[in-house]
Amino acid sequence: MSSPLVSVIIPTYNRPTFLKEAIDSVVGQTYVPIEILVIDDGSNINYAEEICNHYKNCTYLYKKNGGLSSARNFGIKKSNGAYIAFLDDDDFWRKDKIEKQVAILETHKEVDLVHSSAMVVTELGESTGNIIGASKTKVSKRSGNVFWNALGVWVVKSPTPLLRRTVFTKDLLFDETIKVGEDIDFYQRLFYRHQIYYIDEPLAFYREFDNPVRLSKQREKYIGIEKKMIANFREMGVHSPIILHKIKIRLAKQAVRNWNSVYPNDLIKINYLTLFLNPSKYIWEISDFYANRSKPRKQ
């Protein structure tokens, strides 16, 4: 019996520096078959096609610039694999990542996503010794039905997940209107529907360096995402007033944490009675005031 095809989607935009290393880490996987789709999200220079052409299983696809969510969704639609993985163009993988993850999905039919911890590396790709992932006391909370322990607290690390193709439905794709934090929205909604599995090993390498144009460094742009997340939960069929209220409480706490991390000199203190009775107050005010470049009222 043949092994299932894995599609690896690598979006890139005006960043040629690390793309070859990312592709090499996929080509060097111990698992086959793999197809690689490099999605050029409207780069000003055509570097990605030349790099991709050096690999027989790498397909270069160009699209008009639309952001990371748009590039990933485009790649999903163009892919052929039973399993899909995402890799940012500045990260890379351990050579046995896909082999280990496919084995889990093949033997655990109830699981629809496998993720892991990741090793943090420098701009030069050298290990910092830091690992991002679950602490030893919380490993068990990263597998199974994780929705309520994850909501507003954590999501999978960006270079680590492998997903079944079947999770991607009309109402469960990356939200293309969210330019920063799209993974927070997508994976929290995925957790609502699907079971996941955590491998407590760093199967991927996450490159961390100081560059103000990196989306992960633009923390202020995460502010207000909770308002959109509530709308997306509704659109995917979450209508129970009790469940929506619980979701809003979790996301209100997240909204306040995001604000306070960006504006430590203008902290918002939570009134827990208000939080319980009207969590939307925090979500809507933080979103609306930030959108207008004004600060929310202190509670």
How far apart are the C-alpha atoms of 40 and 65, rounded to whole Å? 8
CA angle (79, 67, 281) in 5-degree steps:
115
Burial of 211 from C-beta contacts in 10 A (0-12 / 13-18 / 19+): exposed
For 146, 180, 186, 214, 250, the CA distances from 254, given in Å and listed in that order, are 17, 15, 16, 22, 6
Q: Residue 291 — very low, low, confident or very high, per pLDDT cuts 50/70/90?
A: low
Please say which residue of 217, 238, 271 terminates a domain.
217
Q: Please check whether residues 180 and 198 belong to one and the same domain.
A: yes
Confidence of residue 209 (pLDDT cuts 50, 70, 90): confident
Give the C-alpha separation, 47 to 70, whole Å: 20
Q: Same structural domain for residues 103 and 175?
A: yes
196 and 240 in a single domain? The answer is no
Mean model confidence pLDDT for the chain: 93
Query: Which is higher by pLDDT, 210 or 292?
Result: 210
* Domain final residue, candidates 217, 248, 274: 217
The owner of tokens 């995925």 is 190
Looking at the fold, whether 241 and 264 belong to one and the same domain comes out as: yes
Residues 74, 20: one domain?
Answer: yes
How are beta strands 83-86 and 6-12 bridged, if at all? parallel
Q: Do 73 and 144 lie in a common domain?
A: yes
Same domain, 150 and 19: yes
Q: Strand 111-121 relative to strand 127-132: parallel, antiparallel, unpaired?
A: antiparallel
Distance (Å, whole) CA 195 – CA 150: 12
Going by pLDDT thresholds of 50, 70 and 90, the confidence category of residue 16 is very high
Region of poorest pLDDT, from 19-33, 38-52, 228-242, 284-298: 284-298
Question: Does one domain contain both 199 and 249?
Answer: no
Assess if residue 298 is contained within a domain: no
Domain-embedded: residue 299: no
Q: Does the pLDDT of residue 216 top 90, yes or no?
A: no
12 with 152, same domain?
yes
d(CA 256, CA 157) in angstroms, rounded, equals 22
Q: Give the total number of structural domains in the chain.
A: 2
Whole domain around residue 14: which residue ranges? 6-217
Residue 30 per-residue DSSP state: S
Task: State the pTM of this model.
Answer: 0.92
